[in-house]
Amino acid sequence: MNSILREVANTDWITIVILISIVFIIVAKSMFYSRFLNFMVLPFNNKYLFIYNKKDILLNWFHIFISAFQLMNLTLFI
Express each pLDDT in 31-69 by its tens digit. 999 889 888 888 888 887 787 777 667 678 888 899 999
| 4, 6, 47, 73 from 1: Cα distances, Å | 10, 15, 59, 42
Residues of the chain with pLDDT > 90: what percent?
26
Residue 2 domain-assigned (yes or no): no
Residue 6 domain-assigned (yes or no): no
Residue 7 domain-assigned (yes or no): no
**In this predicted model, which residue has the larger pLDDT, 11 or 42?**
42
The total number of structural domains in the chain stands at 1
What is the model's pTM? 0.71
Residue 29 domain-assigned (yes or no): yes
Residue 1 domain-assigned (yes or no): no
Query: Helix H segments across the chain?
Result: 13-31, 33-40, 47-52, 61-77
Q: Domain of residue 62: give its range.
A: 13-77
